[in-house]
Structure 1
Amino acid sequence: MANLKEIRNRIASVKSTQQITKAMKMVSTVKLIQATKTINQLKPYAEKMKEIVAHLSTSLKGKGSSPFMVARTPKNILLIVVTSNRGLAGAFNANVIKEANLTISGKYMEQHRKGNLKIVPIGKKGRDSYKKNGYPLIDDFVDLFTDLNFENTSKLAEFIMDGFLRAHFDRVEIVYNEFKNAAVQFLKTEQLLPLLITDSFTEPVDNDDMPYDYIMEPSKEKLFETLIPKSIKLQLHKVLADSHASEHGARMTAMDKATENAGELIKSLTLSYNRARQSAITNEIMEIVGGAEALSRG
């Protein structure tokens, strides 16, 4: 059994760690509240944008087109991997990297073997992992989460769209954590380019009128052409906002569990300390009694 001093030192060390994890949990909770507010405000807007683009696409009956919707043979692939800049968030980063690696080894093994697969890691954890393992990186954009806003996200989106238009990439996919709540995040792999527009209607549109009372200026074709790049930028921004909220949720949950585990360990160590102390006191009493009996017999 460890001596009393060692146990006291361990208790003090665990208590210090518990204070750190508790503080980190509080910080993540505050950041999560703000991140949740952002994603809750953004999702309805992003969904409405998708709806409008889908309505326009259906109404145009194939007359409207965009270079961002052109499907090509996927010879050159760009994979965007969204992780965080910091750890201590449970399996948040490891799961994203694992999912991205499965996508590479399964879906795009041929392109990767030929050197036609490039990675854009967003977040230091992803960048460090892929850099260490020798994957071809285009850029890392690790500063995006330092100041996450639509303007900064748009720069990344423009970089990606320009590469797609120049045929540097035939397909762009993104791997990230979608935010559900503080304790739940869903791993997702989505195709960013070419843009996939889901038809929102079960019945075909028989005339040129939209099924909703929209006033369109200038024309449907011009609006469609203008909204497509905006839709791509908004989709990317939503993905990053989702991942940002998921990170804080995962870290808050991890730190809450760590704090709880530290409390259990402190209880266990305190019990061990009390037992060791009781044993030491009993031994001292036995020594005193033994000494007294020896003196009385003498």
Structure 2
Amino acid sequence: MPSLKELRARIQGVKSQRKITSAMKMVAASKLRRFQLRAEASRPYADAMRRMLSELAAATRHESELPLLMQGGPGRTHLLVMLTSDLGLAGGFNANLARAMRGIVERLEGEGETVRILTVGRKGGDAMTRAYPDQVTMRQPGTAGREVEFARALEMGKQIEEMLVSGEIDRVTVVYNRFINAMTQTPTTLPLVPLPVPENDNRDDMAAQYDFEPNEEEILAHILPRNLQVQIYAALLESAAGEQGARMTAMDNATRNAGSAIDSLTQRYNRSRQANITTELIEIISGAEAV
């Protein structure tokens, strides 16, 4: 049984941990509001652009000469872009995405595709390097809880486009945690290349409904790279908001658990102290009677 000194030390240690987790919860809560607003503000624009280009892909899918960012490459090399955090203490935020990622890799390989992985965030990079060391072709740092700048998505979009043009990859999918609320972040896949075609779309002669001005090639050459960057940026914002929500929830739970542990340890301390006092009184009384 622990001594009174050991119990006091444990109580003091848990109190110190509770201060840390409480502070981390407040920091995450302050960041969450800002990141949540930016993520929600990006959704209408990203969704509208994705929907418009998906319809355009459906309208032009029978044409032989389509831009690479619209139809993808001729091979079966699939790049998975995984967005996680640099820091831990965020509950299952990274572990859930890593589990979903392993399922996606197994499915794609079962379909005969060659999988390559680009990780953004140290936690995802570590997990994928352990699971698929030969398939992780690039590791990039995450945002480490800082603001997500569009320049980051611009750089990633250019890197992916260069890999497509060089023939290194043929398809691209982003895997990230979509922010639902502070307690829920859902692992989500976002196909970027080739552009997804609506499943219920059977309009084979829709191309006539689209008029391009000044011309089709010039517009698509501008809008397709921009769409790639916008979708990556929206996913980065969703992941950043989800990270702060998961960390706030995890630190709130840790703070509550620390409080319960302090109560339990305090109760054990008081019982041990009372037992020691009772033992000392018995020894004194027994000594007095013996005299």
> Do they fold alike, i.e. is TM over 0.5?
yes
SS in structure 1 opposite 2:139?
coil
Whole-Å Cα distance in 1 between the matches of residues 122 and 111 of structure 2? Answer: 27
- Mark the runs of 5 or more structure 2 residues left unpaired by the alignment: none
Once the two structures are superposed, residues 180-224 of structure 1 have per-residue CA deviations (whole angstroms, 9 ceiling, x without a partner) of: 0110011112322112143897988889567xxxx9853566434
Tell me the equivalent position of 1:240: 236
SS in structure 2 opposite 1:121?
strand
Q: How many Å apart are 1:226 and its aligned residue? A: 2.5
Whole-Å Cα distance in 1 between the matches of residues 61 and 141 of structure 2? Answer: 41
- CA gap of 1:203–1:42, structure 2 versus 1, over 3 A, is same
Once the two structures are superposed, residues 149-202 of structure 1 have per-residue CA deviations (whole angstroms, 9 ceiling, x without a partner) of: 111111111111221222211222222111101100111123221121438979
- Structure 1 window deviating more from structure 2 (66-75 vs 265-274): it is 66-75
Whole-Å Cα distance in 1 between the matches of residues 222 and 285 of structure 2? Answer: 95
- Structure 1 window deviating more from structure 2 (200-209 vs 231-240): it is 200-209
Tell me the equivalent position of 1:70: 71
Residue 28 (structure 1) aligned with residue 28 (structure 2):
yes
- Mark the runs of 5 or more structure 1 residues left unpaired by the alignment: none
Tell me the equivalent position of 2:163: 163
254, 261, 265: which one aligns with 2:257: 261
Q: How many Å apart are 1:248 and its aligned residue? A: 0.8
Q: Match for 1:96: what amino acid?
A: L
SS in structure 2 opposite 1:90?
coil
Q: Is the 8 A contact 1:53 1:227 kept in 2?
A: no
SS in structure 1 opposite 2:140?
coil
- CA gap of 1:276–1:84, structure 2 versus 1, over 3 A, is same
- Structure 1 window deviating more from structure 2 (225-234 vs 102-111): it is 102-111
Residue 107 (structure 1) aligned with residue 114 (structure 2):
no
Q: Match for 2:21: what amino acid?
A: T
Q: Is the 8 A contact 2:84 2:142 kept in 1?
A: no
Q: Match for 2:81: what amino acid?
A: I
Q: Is the 8 A contact 1:182 1:246 kept in 2?
A: yes
Percent identity (aligned): 34
270, 273, 284: which one aligns with 1:274: 270
Q: Match for 2:86: what amino acid?
A: N
Alignment TM-score, normalising by the size of structure 1: 0.85
121, 125, 128: which one aligns with 1:127: 125
Q: How many Å apart are 1:22 and its aligned residue? A: 0.6
Q: How many Å apart are 1:144 and its aligned residue? A: 4.7
Whole-Å Cα distance in 2 between the matches of residues 77 and 57 of structure 1? Answer: 19
Q: Is the 8 A contact 2:84 2:122 kept in 1?
A: yes
Tell me the equivalent position of 1:194: 194
Count matched residues.
Answer: 288
Whole-Å Cα distance in 2 between the matches of residues 207 and 97 of structure 1? Answer: 40
Whole-Å Cα distance in 1 between the matches of residues 185 and 206 of structure 2? Answer: 41
Tell me the equivalent position of 2:172: 172
SS in structure 2 opposite 1:169?
coil
Whole-Å Cα distance in 2 between the matches of residues 248 and 185 of structure 1? Answer: 10
Q: How many Å apart are 1:55 and its aligned residue? A: 5.3
Q: Is the 8 A contact 2:153 2:229 kept in 1?
A: yes
- CA gap of 1:34–1:147, structure 2 versus 1, over 3 A, is closer
- CA gap of 1:61–1:85, structure 2 versus 1, over 3 A, is closer
Once the two structures are superposed, residues 248-290 of structure 1 have per-residue CA deviations (whole angstroms, 9 ceiling, x without a partner) of: 1111111110000000000000000110111111111112222
- CA gap of 1:204–1:170, structure 2 versus 1, over 3 A, is closer
- Structure 1 window deviating more from structure 2 (134-143 vs 245-254): it is 134-143
- Structure 1 window deviating more from structure 2 (167-176 vs 263-272): it is 167-176
Whole-Å Cα distance in 2 between the matches of residues 209 and 39 of structure 1? Answer: 33
Tell me the equivalent position of 1:16: 16
